Amino acid sequence: MKELGLSQKDLGNLVGRSQAWVSQELLKSPEHTIRHLWAKEPETFTRLLRALQWTPEEFSQATGIRFPSPVVDSSSFIPTTRYRMPIIEAGAGPPMWNESAEYITLDLPELRGKGERELFAVRVKGDSMEPTLTDGDVVVFWTEGAPEPGRVVAVHVHWDGVVIKRLQRYNGSWYLYSDNPAHPPLPLGEHDRILGVAVNLVRRI
């Protein structure tokens, strides 16, 4: 949910359930709830996997929850859409939506509800976000995503160009954390600007 920028309310809307169901049943007792959906409400189960952009095989691999047989045909489970968006190198300036900018075209799982002009990509440079992100990865960001604590964000730092960090809040102030503990956290400066939240990762384009 965090990777896709989905709140509990967002996920509930995509699945056709309430926010309370997400918080009190799905997140409180995930394996029990998932097994119930698989056995009793396969359509809801399928909507849940689509909302999380997982195939049944990917879901089982990530969670350890196994099922006796495939629920759906994975070959057509997640629609793929071609997105064209500006791309920048980490450390460069903000993305530009004009014909003089460098663009990249990616075939990605459908990013429901997100317009192409709301998306941009950043190529990772360095090891500050390892093991989550490695040098050369391409991360797709959504300009309309909510910059909440724990989210991976692209930030234009006035002295260092665009950086990819994890947003956290401590003692009433915002900080930019690296997943690699060798890199210390940085305070979000007055002139720093959050450009977008991560919604997709493409390994080493």
Mind listing the pLDDT tens digit for each residue in 111-163? 877 888 899 999 999 999 998 888 999 999 999 888 888 899 999 988 788 99
**How far is CA 96 from each of CA 70, 92, 99, 108, 122, rounded to the nearest angstrom?**
43, 11, 9, 21, 12
Q: Are residues 58 and 86 in the same domain?
A: no
User: What's the token pair of residue 45?
Assistant: 């189960």
Residue 176 domain-assigned? yes
| Letter string b/e over residues 127-139, b meaning 16 or more CB atoms within 10 A of that residue's CB | ebbbebbeeebbb
Q: What is the pLDDT of residues 176-202, one digit of tens each?
A: 999 999 999 999 988 899 999 998 888
Above 50 in pLDDT, residue 175?
Answer: yes
- State the helix-helix crossing angle for 30-40 and 56-63, rounded to 10 degrees: 150
Of 133, 119, 129, 140, whose CA–CA distance to 180 is shortest?
129
Q: What is the pLDDT of residues 58-81, one digit of tens each?
A: 777 777 777 654 444 444 455 678
Query: Which of 23, 42, 72 is the C-terminal boundary of a domain?
Result: 72
Q: Are residues 137 and 95 in the same domain?
A: yes
Q: Are residues 145 and 62 in the same domain?
A: no
User: What's the token pair of residue 87?
Assistant: 């791309």
Tell me, what DSSP letter sits at residue 118?
A: G
pLDDT score for 201: 83
Q: What is the residue range of 176's domain? A: 80-202
| Strand ranges for 25-113 from DSSP E | 80-89, 103-109
pTM of the model: 0.61
Split into its structural domains, the chain has a count of 2
pLDDT score for 124: 92
Of 82, 50, 204, whose CA–CA distance to 139 is shortest?
204
Cβ neighbour number for residue 39 with a 10 Å cutoff = 10
Q: Are residues 173 and 115 in the same domain?
A: yes
pLDDT score for 77: 53
Of 93, 69, 97, whose CA–CA distance to 85 is shortest?
97
Q: Are residues 96 and 182 in the same domain?
A: yes
Q: Are residues 88 and 148 in the same domain?
A: yes
Residue 3 domain-assigned? no
- What CATH number does residue 103 fall under? 2.10.109.10
How far, in Å, CA of 77 to CA of 167, rounded? 32
Q: Are 154 and 139 in contact (CB under 8 A)?
A: yes
| Owner of token pair 């991360």 | 139
Query: Which of 47, 72, 97 is the C-terminal boundary of a domain?
Result: 72
Query: Which of 39, 56, 72 is the C-terminal boundary of a domain?
Result: 72
Q: Are 192 and 153 in contact (CB under 8 A)?
A: no
| 37 compared with 186, residue with greater pLDDT | 186
Tell me, what DSSP letter sits at residue 168?
A: E
